[in-house]
A and B are shown apart, each in its own frame.
Chain A
Amino acid sequence: MKQFLVLAAVLGLVAFGCAERKAVAPTQSQEMQQPQTQTPEGSTKAQEKITEQQMAKVESKDIHSKFEEISGMFKDIYFDYDKYDVREDAKQTLKAVADHLRKNTAQKVLIEGHCDDRGTSEYNLGLGDKRAKSAKDFIVSMGVPSSRIDTISYGKEKPVCSEHAENCWAKNRRGHFVLLKGK
């Protein structure tokens, strides 16, 4: 298609006897400012002016949480490698979270699902999502309304331990609990 545009543009020059370079400006991606060489192949004389548009800065808004967040009230729970089912040793913590939510009906909990860093980003986000949800399902099965538990996956993006060894990986494969108060 680009070839065709060039051809059309060249023909246009002949037809209208006009050598205005703007006439052959690429139609796509003018923002990227990639001036194409619009000279016919085999030509021995050609000119080109190279320009580039200055890019304005974009500003991202609303990045940080609006809730009052309390971390550390509950122990992290841990998962096996590439698994997302709740382990026996996690059940005591999950029961404590369920008890707390039943007693404090104005509070919510956010469960973060995390992974070790051996996999790749996106698959690990899927795995962390599954881990947070299986922890949530367990708490819901203890009688806490589903609406009071949020989940989020951080995959391997927020490790607590950065060495490349099993004891460190095991610490990163975790579910982390954050209490949310107010709005």
Chain B
Amino acid sequence: MMKLRIGHRSKLPVRRRSQSSIFFLLLPLFILYFSLFTIVEAKVYIDIASPAVRKLPIAVPEFGGTGGRELSDIIRDDLDFTGIFVCLDRNTFIESSSQPFNAKNWTVIGAEAVVKGTVSGAKNLVATVSLYDALEGREIFRKEYQTDASLLRPLAHTIANDIYRQMTGEPGIFRTRVAYVVRKGEEDSISLADWDGHRAITLGIKGNVILSPHWSKDGSRLIYSSERIRQWGIYLLDFKKMSETKVFSAKGTNIAGDFFPDADEFIFSSSMNGNQDLYTYRVSSAKLNRLTSSRGIEVSPTLSPDGSQISFISDRDGTPQLFIMGRDSHNSRRLTFNGPYNTSPSWSPRGDRIVFSGRQGGKNQVFTISPDGSGISQLTDRGNNEDPSFSPDGRYIVFSSDRDGEKAVYIMRANGEAQKRITPKGLRVFGPRWSPN
């Protein structure tokens, strides 16, 4: 197998720096552990941090047993969407999942990695999965999974995460979800679906109008603005209690933005003091802090991953444009100069890009830009494309688009490849946000 280890960084030094005292306390145990089990650091087959990643040819033959086909199809589709694997055509396979692994059967069709598995059980599923390095002719991973038959899709996504981690050294996003707003008649509600759009559920949250929700970094809370009783309130859904509380309300337009990393404080825009300005609010202490006081409209604040910088929209120069400033509201600078209308910024969890919606030829398109204002890149070109935000690993973008008629939710890779609708026909949907975990 090609050993693409260019620039691969070991995680150990980072751990040592950040947790040095605890690490040294645990050091004797650490040595004991490694001497007992002689675990070597896993090989990284694909360095996804490298700018020129070669796609790794992988074979995912149909798994044996009831549900084996569906399970292996989902795993294959997950890996395929990443764009870092090439999933080989099953028609060319010589060996099935149930036959003993013979590396030659796979190298001859160009496969460098092979995922095989079998499923047994009817109500309680047991899946045994193996991952092989075809070039070295050895098994590099084997695991047994158990679950209820109703959780076949989460099972497949968990297996795909394990394979992804084995091959790249990074966690996969295949068990994350997307929250979005559904508009039916005069009432909006919030739904939650798997990242690929399957298994959508409604959360029971309703309002005359609901805006794009924002996740806390730990995934335990969702905040969103909703117009109820002719007032814009900011509401918080606590997933631990499954309860909704109104956390902020004032006369005017109050629009929730991102949570700070601690999941207790969030940023928002409000016209409570006349003009639409930016504020922060701490939920536990009800502490309100005003950040801007301009004559124009300032909305859609988004935070850098560490919460130290804010990107937002301001029309202070005549048209809505992206700006960046520090958390203390100092050092404000304009980021976008392309086109007359740039809105809806959302910062990548990796920190290196900001995605936004900008007007191009009379339609709204998704763009990304570096926080230093360089490297602007247009990712969409059909219909109106709005409300973009990143997946937790920063490798994918979710957005809404009316390209096929009514507004629907789409996902794509962060470079614009593989654009795919994930919400069903006939459902008017917008404001999607990817869960952090």
Residues of chain A at the chain B interface (Cβ within 8 Å): 1-4, 7-8, 10-11, 14-15, 28-32, 34-35, 37, 39-52, 55-60, 62-67, 82, 110, 118-123, 125-130, 133, 150-154, 157-158
B240 lies within 8 A of A31 (CB)? yes
Contact in complex: A46, B203 (CB < 8 Å)? no
Say yes or no: is B52 at the interface (Cβ < 8 Å to chain A).
no
Question: Are the C-beta atoms of A11 and B207 separated by less than 8 Å?
Answer: no
- Tell me which residues from 235 to 249 in chain B have a Cβ below 8 Å from any Cβ of chain A: 235, 237, 239-240, 242-244
In angstroms, how far is the closest chain A Cβ from the Cβ of B362? 8
CB distance B297 to A47 under 8 Å?
Answer: no
B139 A51 Cβ-Cβ under 8 A: no
Whose C-beta in chain A lies nearest to the C-beta of B29? A11
- Known contacts A4-B15, A58-B204, A152-B232; A158 and B209 CB within 8 A of each other: yes
Interface pair A50/B158, CB less than 8 Å apart: yes
Q: Chain B residues with Cβ under 8 A from A151's Cβ?
A: 252
- Contact at B146–A50, with CB atoms within 8 Å? yes
| Chain A interface main SS type | loop
Taking a contact as CB atoms under 8 Å apart, the answer to whether B228 and A51 are in contact is: no
B148: chain A residues at CB < 8 Å are 51
Contact in complex: B207, A60 (CB < 8 Å): yes
**CB-defined contacts of B36 to chain A, threshold 8 Å:** 14
Chain B residues, CB < 8 A from A59: 204, 244
Shortest Cβ distance from residue A120 to the other chain B in the assembled complex, whole angstroms: 4
- The answer on a CB contact under 8 Å between B15 and A3 is yes
Task: Out of B146, B228, B243, B313, name the residue touching A122 (CB < 8 Å).
Answer: B313
Interface residues of B in 9-24 (CB under 8 A from A): 11, 15, 18-19, 22
Within 8 A of A (CB), among B147-162: 147-148, 151, 154-155, 158, 161-162
Q: Are B219 and A29 in contact (CB under 8 A)?
A: yes
Given contacts A8-B26, A41-B41, A130-B276, 9 further A-B contacts (CB under 8 A): A7-B15, A28-B219, A31-B240, A37-B165, A39-B143, A47-B145, A62-B228, A119-B343, A125-B299
In the complex formed, the residue of A with least CB distance to B152 is: A50
| B211 part of interface (Cβ distance < 8 Å) | yes
Chain B minimum-CB-distance residue to A27: B218
Tell me which of B91-99, B347-355, B429-437 binds A. B429-437
Rounded to whole Å, the gap between the CB of B142 and the closest CB of chain A is: 6
Q: CA–CA, A41 to B317, complex, Å?
A: 53
Q: How far is the CA of A29 from the CA of B436 in the complex (A)?
A: 10
Whether B147 pairs with A50 at a CB distance below 8 angstroms is yes
Interface string of B26-38 (1 = CB under 8 A from A): 1001101100110
> Using a CB-CB cutoff of 8 Å, which residues 202-241 of chain B contact chain A?
202-209, 211-212, 218-220, 226-232, 235, 237, 239-240
> Is the Cβ of A31 less than 8 Å from the Cβ of B219?
yes
Asked if B357 is at the interface (CB within 8 A of a chain A CB), the reply is: yes
Inter-chain contact B147/A49, CB cutoff 8 Å: yes
Q: Are B158 and A11 in contact (CB under 8 A)?
A: no
Interface centre among A3, A29, A43, A152 (most CB of B within 10 A): A29
The answer on a CB contact under 8 Å between B206 and A49 is: no
Residue B8 at the A interface, CB < 8 A? Answer: no
Whole-angstrom distance from the CB of B265 to the nearest CB of chain A?
17
CB distance from A51 to the nearest CB of B (A): 7
B147 touches A55 (CB 8 A): no
With contact pairs A7-B15, A28-B218, A122-B269 given, residues A60 and B205 touching in the complex (Cβ less than 8 Å)? yes
Which residues in B have their C-beta under 8 angstroms from that of A3? Answer: 11, 15
